[in-house]
Amino acid sequence: MIRIEVVQGDITAVRADAVVNAANSTLLGGGGVDGAIHRAGGPEILEACRELRASTHRDGLPTGDAVATTAGRLPARWVIHTVGPVWSGATDRTPLLRSAYSRSLAVADELRARVVAFPLISAGAYGWPLEDAVDVAVSTIRGASTEVEHVVLVAYGEAADRLLRAAVD
């Protein structure tokens, strides 16, 4: 069974085998978590992402999928980049959000990572309602078949922290 821990703060400072990046499909950096990871990790991450774009992901990383790169200067070995869906009130994109978590854990298994830090995927600029994002994250991680032993859910802000702690306890 996966041990889930909640911390509030900066995901770029979390010590883990792998840190999950809520990336955009270009893999070339952006705002929010994506920008913070690229800034803190340094140019090695961007270079590794460019190599992925040139070789296997010319059209970008599909929503719900995940890939890994070096973590550069982060206190982790790898960054697992995943693209979450943009929230829509008209279309249920929950399966894509679940896939972003599941695929990230599958990539972590391929890397043999045992401790993985996650942000709340899609809950920032992609507009996913916070309570639902928490429910999807926790239920997907708890239900996963994985070798990952410890997941750190990193809350950005007090509301996310409160909701995550309530869902995990």
Give the E-state strand segments of the chain in sequence order: 3-8, 18-23, 66-70, 78-83, 115-118, 150-155
Query: What is the C-alpha to C-alpha distance for residues 103 and 66, in angstroms, rounded to an integer?
Result: 6
pLDDT of res. 103: 98
What is the percentage of the chain residues whose pLDDT exceeds 90? 91
Give all domains of the chain, ordered by start, each with its CATH number.
Answer: 3-168 (3.40.220.10)
Whether residue 60 contacts residue 1, with contact meaning beta carbons closer than 8 Å, is answered with: no
Strand ordering across the sheet containing 115-118:
3-8, 150-155, 115-118, 18-23, 78-83, 66-70
Kindly report the average pLDDT of the chain as a whole number: 96
Where does the pLDDT of residue 31 fall: very low under 50, low under 70, confident under 90, or very high at 90 and above? confident
The single-letter code of the amino acid at 45 is I
How much is the average pLDDT of 3-30?
A: 95
For residue 109, indicate whether it is catalytic.
no
Task: Pick the catalytic residue from 10, 17, 34, 132.
Answer: 34
- Its pTM stands at 0.96
pLDDT exceeds 90 at position 41: yes
Q: Is the pLDDT of residue 57 over 90?
A: no
Q: Is the pLDDT of residue 91 over 90?
A: yes
